[in-house]
């Protein structure tokens, strides 16, 4: 990845957008299906695509702090201020800590957020948790490791530089000096003025953007303007995915939300200001049967400023459905819609105007 000039004076250090575009085209079969095919039954099938970029936290604004404590059993307690809203950040941050501390992830206990006692975090918003809080986790682990190594050196009567940390033990090469993590943890709670706990914060001067290519195939009924989604292919560059399974389901969920915003969800008010569609009987959201086929692939691009090369994925995934569907509808019937939701009524009315 060659650094290229970007927005607000920043420089992109990881760009997988070109590969995302190529991957999405292959997934959807773009060259064979573009722009439209007549199905011979009053319906046509068309494809449309869109590209998007977002950000990883708000540079110079977002801040996250993390505290990690070594318990007397040789496990770790991690306190964070970012709330897991279903994105899996508790798992992802625990994975990062486990990687840094060279232990199994089940030895990292993540404590739920309580603003009275949790370290400060700007919040789970702005695509920030993996990037901003993740970097805070790495900094905290390094500080804690150095403190543990210093204590291990004290117990083994050697210098810090001689000690090797190997997850469950500390040792000095070419000697019999060794102390287990559990023994060190127990020793850290007796006759000491330095508890084995560390806390660090992180704020970034940059916001490396993730990229996404989204392509959709629709079937449009020319008699009614009704749109049915046949296939949606997404290729995402979120840096190096920390947990690909969680990243995939988060992408799928964001695409479904984007489809709902594009085709179904509509807020309407009466003249007196009361909302008309104030229940799910009137306010329509898509279900699984409305989705057709939904496929997600990742085109990793290592981000040097991110934790283990990661960028964000929280918001990028909702950005492509609306423009991709608008382009597919245009290719299908020539109607260019610029207002959401793109209902069958608006599509049909646009088609009638074109016929005049």
Residue 249, both tokens: 């389901």
Q: In what order do the strands lie in the sheet with 64-70?
A: 108-111, 76-80, 64-70, 197-202
Q: Which domains does the chain have, with CATH numbers?
A: 4-55+207-355 (3.30.365.10), 64-202 (3.30.365.10)
Using alpha carbons, select from 3, 6, 36 the residue that is nearest to residue 230.
36
* Band of residue 291 on the pLDDT scale cut at 50, 70, 90: confident
For 308, the 3-state DSSP assignment is helix
Q: Do residues 321 and 308 touch, judged by C-beta distance below 8 A?
A: no
- Number of neighbouring beta carbons within 10 Å of residue 159: 11
For 260, the 3-state DSSP assignment is helix
- Longest Cα–Cα distance of the chain, Å, equals 91
Q: What is the pLDDT of residues 92-118, one digit of tens each?
A: 999 999 999 999 999 999 998 888 999
pLDDT at residue 6, rounded to an integer: 56
For 98, the 3-state DSSP assignment is helix
CA 137 remoteness from chain centre: 17
Q: Do residues 147 and 196 touch, judged by C-beta distance below 8 A?
A: yes
Using alpha carbons, select from 130, 133, 151, 150 the residue that is nearest to residue 78.
133
Q: In what order do the strands lie in the sheet with 178-180?
A: 164-165, 169-171, 178-180
Distance CA 55, CA 237 (A): 12
Q: What is the pLDDT of residues 150-198, one digit of tens each?
A: 999 999 999 999 999 999 999 999 899 999 999 999 999 888 888 899 9
CA 80 remoteness from chain centre: 18
Distance CA 243, CA 88 (A): 9
- Identify the H or E element spanning 145: helix 134-156
Choice between 291 and 138, residue whose per-residue pLDDT is larger = 138
pLDDT at residue 5, rounded to an integer: 57
CA-to-CA separations, 170 to 103, 176, 335, in angstroms, rounded: 13, 11, 68
CA 331 remoteness from chain centre: 31
**For residue 245, with 0-12 CB atoms within 10 Å meaning exposed, 13-18 middle and 19 or more buried, which class applies?**
exposed
Q: What is the pLDDT of residues 229-282, one digit of tens each?
A: 999 999 999 999 999 999 999 999 999 999 999 999 999 999 999 999 999 888
């Amino acid at each position: 990845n060659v650094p290229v000039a970007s927005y607000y004076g920043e420089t992109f250090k990881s760009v997988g957008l070109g590969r995302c575009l190529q991957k999405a085209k292959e997934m959807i079969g773009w060259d064979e299906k573009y722009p439209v095919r007549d199905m011979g039954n009053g319906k046509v099938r068309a494809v449309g695509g869109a590209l998007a970029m977002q950000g990883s936290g708000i540079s110079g604004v977002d801040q996250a702090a993390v505290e990690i404590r070594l318990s007397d059993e040789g496990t770790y307690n991690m306190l964070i201020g970012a709330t897991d809203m279903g994105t899996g950040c508790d798992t992802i941050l625990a994975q990062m800590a486990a990687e840094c501390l060279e232990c199994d992830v089940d030895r990292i206990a993540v404590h739920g957020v309580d603003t009275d006692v949790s370290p400060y975090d700007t919040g789970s918003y702005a695509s920030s948790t993996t990037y901003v809080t993740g970097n805070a986790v790495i900094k905290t682990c390094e500080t804690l490791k150095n403190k543990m190594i210093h204590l291990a050196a004290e117990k083994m009567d050697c210098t810090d530089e001689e000690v090797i940390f190997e997850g469950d033990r500390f040792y000095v090469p070419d000697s019999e000096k060794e102390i287990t993590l559990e023994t060190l943890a127990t020793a850290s709670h007796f006759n000491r003025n330095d508890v084995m706990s560390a806390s660090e914060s992180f704020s970034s001067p940059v916001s490396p953007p993730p990229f996404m290519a989204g392509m959709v195939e629709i079937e449009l009924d020319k008699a009614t303007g009704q749109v049915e989604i046949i296939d949606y292919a997404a290729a995402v560059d979120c840096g190096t995915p920390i947990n690909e399974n969680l990243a995939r389901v988060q992408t799928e969920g964001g695409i479904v939300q984007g489809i709902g915003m594009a085709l179904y969800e509509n807020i309407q008010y009466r003249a007196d200001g009361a909302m008309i569609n104030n229940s799910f009987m009137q306010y329509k959201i898509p279900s699984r049967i409305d989705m057709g086929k939904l496929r997600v692939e990742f085109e990793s691009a290592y981000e040097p400023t991110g934790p283990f090369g990661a960028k964000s994925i929280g918001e990028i995934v909702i950005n492509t459905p609306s423009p991709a569907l608008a382009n597919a509808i245009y290719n299908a019937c020539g109607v260019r819609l610029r207002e959401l939701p793109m209902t069958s009524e608006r599509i049909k009315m646009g088609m009638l105007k074109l016929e005049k």
